[in-house]
Structure 1
Amino acid sequence: MRHITDVHVHVWDLSRFSLPWLDDVPALKKSISEDDYMRDMGQGPGWRIEKAVYVEVDVAPEQREQEAEYIARVCRDQESAFEAAVISADLALPEAARRLGAYRDHPCIRGVRHVLHVDSSLKGACLDTTFVRNVRILGEQGMLFEGCLRTSELSDLVQLAKQCPDTSVVLDHMGNVDPVSIAAKNPPPGQATYADQWKRDIEALGALSNVSCKISGLNVFGDWSSETLAPALEHCFDVFGEDRIMFASNYPVCQLSLGARPWVEALLSITAARSESFQEKLFSGNAARIYQLQR
């Protein structure tokens, strides 16, 4: 039995929180609970989800502290699969570091995500002086920073991670890469340029010892196979090595493309020939260390 820790799960209660972005994603505009998550991907042949990390859901800005307090209570529940959480903060604000100080040594809050891949986020936003200072302070407070960026802007995360060497930085979703472009045998010039740039940016991130990568976010629509996914995956495996990769589902967003269970089973199949050490670290061991899971 493969015991899995999922380091990227979203759930939300729309009677409690406002998620304005759901107006553009009608398929997800409903409350989604931990029970829904466990029903959709709790286990399959030879594998089972044992633990999970909650990642902020881009609530209305005035509800960020309420979201943090809510998920902290959930993580303390021994019956919940959630053992840690990454909360939301606007790291462009000078006072963000002061507010985040309240979570220093918190038993459940492990890090912060400031969403950078949305239209409202300008290119280079994470390189602003205030933003960089706040990310450095996260490291001083024992918290990590999660980077979710547009693929074309991954070089910004490279520069941020270099300027914050004492902060653990986690790349979400392999840089939101399009695996079809990476797997293409004879791509047209634009697709080839995209693939080459992504590979170079991933290599630059992998060269930084404070950066880890979530193996997730391979959104493929229509027909696909392991051969579609493998080239992007193998590049991340090779670049980050077995100690800085972590399985993630991106539930429920993954339900719009690959689907939760097919994603798990595809990744298990693609990595089946790898060593037991590699598989254990990918599916659970690295998550326990990087997110300091204690249960």
Structure 2
Amino acid sequence: MMIDAHQHFWDPARADYPWMNAPELAPIRRAFAPADLAPLLKANGIDASILVQCRSSLEETEEFLQIAHATASVIGVVGWADLTDRALGDTLDRLRALPGGAKLVGIRHQVHDEADPDWLLREDVQRGLAVLFARDLAYDFLVRSRELPAAIATAKAFPQARFVLDHAAKPPIAVGGSTEWSKRVAALAACDNVWCKVSGLATEATWTDWDAELLFPFVQHVATCFGEDRLIFGSDWPVCRLAGSYGEIKSALEACLAKLGSSVREKAFGVNAKAAYRLAGT
């Protein structure tokens, strides 16, 4: 099974997405739904996907579970829930009891938008993570280099938990990368309970001037750090449309992974996502 482990749906006419207000994001400021993604998956040989949160909203998580219930190709949902809420356990239990609730595989928060780079280390957040892991759910790190030290400390604090690093911590590809990013990603990878999504890279480059060759050193770095068993492919569709089509993004990342070996490519497109999210029935 070929899995796209990172894609989104949204409708700005029905809900507010604060991160989407920048003028340069106008091309993706419209509704994207399962019917839009389905032909792209088919054309690119992708069998299933994981639907990932876009805003801090329980309502969105509930809607995503409904979509997963009605859409066979959506095999997992990484939703949102308030980690600081003392009733988090009840909330998670309620979500999992909903139609589609069995497909809730993880939780995510836009940590890189928090003013505090150590937000993950707050006592109330750490308490919430413990509640999350007690229910065998994964946690997606949405961080940049600034927040990686807190992510590293968090991964070490919960050695039995499962973490997934989104977009390889968004390396500054447009400016040629950074030593800080490289070293901190390597330090996070030293925690063997963290997987890394090879996703969202083209949109960290100059949108009109990138190719697989430009992305390869960053893919190679995370492959060296995480190894072939902890790399996961994600399209980041429809955000990726800012830099290229679904097919262009998939082909570029596939080419990068294939250069590292057929086993690296094959695991990144399926088996590693199954392990990270403990996907049932795949």
TM over 0.5, shorter chain = yes
**TM-aligned CA deviation for residue 16 of structure 1:** 4.4
Letter in 1 for 2:139: F
2:89 maps to 1:94? no
Give the match for residue 110 of structure 1. 105
Give the match for residue 216 of structure 1. 199
Identity among equivalent positions (%) equals 27
Give the match for residue 62 of structure 2. 69
**Which residue of 156, 161, 177 maps to 2:171?**
177
**Which residue of 130, 143, 164 maps to 2:158?**
164
Letter in 2 for 1:268: E
Q: Secondary structure at the match of 2:102?
A: coil
List runs of 5+ in structure 2 lacking aligned partners. none
Cα deviations across residues 42-62 of structure 1 (Å, max 9, x unaligned)?
Answer: 245xx411100000110xx5x
Question: In structure 1, how many angstroms separate the alpha carbons of the residues matched to 2:8 and 2:37?
Answer: 9
**Which residue of 128, 132, 153 maps to 1:134?**
128
Higher helix share: 2
Question: In structure 1, how many angstroms separate the alpha carbons of the residues matched to 2:105 and 2:115?
Answer: 23
Query: Are 1:179 and 1:231, in contact at CA under 8 Å, matched by a contact in 2?
Result: no
2:43 maps to 1:22? no
Give the match for residue 42 of structure 1. 41
Letter in 1 for 2:210: W
Question: In structure 2, how many angstroms separate the alpha carbons of the residues matched to 1:48 and 1:7?
Answer: 14
Give the match for residue 7 of structure 2. 9
2:278 maps to 1:286? no
TM-score, normalisation: structure 2: 0.88
Question: In structure 1, how many angstroms separate the alpha carbons of the residues matched to 2:117 and 2:259?
Answer: 40
Q: Secondary structure at the match of 1:145?
A: strand
Cα deviations across residues 40-93 of structure 1 (Å, max 9, x unaligned)?
Answer: x3245xx411100000110xx5xx33222222222223x532111011122233
**TM-aligned CA deviation for residue 133 of structure 1:** 1.5
Q: Secondary structure at the match of 1:71?
A: helix
Query: Are 1:151 and 1:175, in contact at CA under 8 Å, matched by a contact in 2?
Result: yes
Cα deviations across residues 97-123 of structure 1 (Å, max 9, x unaligned)?
Answer: 4422434684110111011122x4422
**TM-aligned CA deviation for residue 132 of structure 1:** 1.0
Give the match for residue 73 of structure 2. 81
Cα deviations across residues 3-29 of structure 1 (Å, max 9, x unaligned)?
Answer: 521111111234543334333332222
Give the match for residue 270 of structure 1. 256
List runs of 5+ in structure 1 lacking aligned partners. 185-193
**TM-aligned CA deviation for residue 94 of structure 1:** 3.2
- Call closer, same or farther: CA 1:76–1:213 in 2, change over 3 Å: same
- Call closer, same or farther: CA 1:121–1:35 in 2, change over 3 Å: farther
Give the match for residue 229 of structure 1. 215
Query: Are 1:56 and 1:86, in contact at CA under 8 Å, matched by a contact in 2?
Result: yes
**TM-aligned CA deviation for residue 206 of structure 1:** 0.8
TM-score, normalisation: structure 1: 0.85
Query: Are 2:258 and 2:264, in contact at CA under 8 Å, matched by a contact in 1?
Result: no
Give the match for residue 57 of structure 1. 54
Query: Are 2:62 and 2:95, in contact at CA under 8 Å, matched by a contact in 1?
Result: no
Q: Secondary structure at the match of 1:271?
A: helix
Question: In structure 2, how many angstroms separate the alpha carbons of the residues matched to 1:170 and 1:111?
Answer: 9
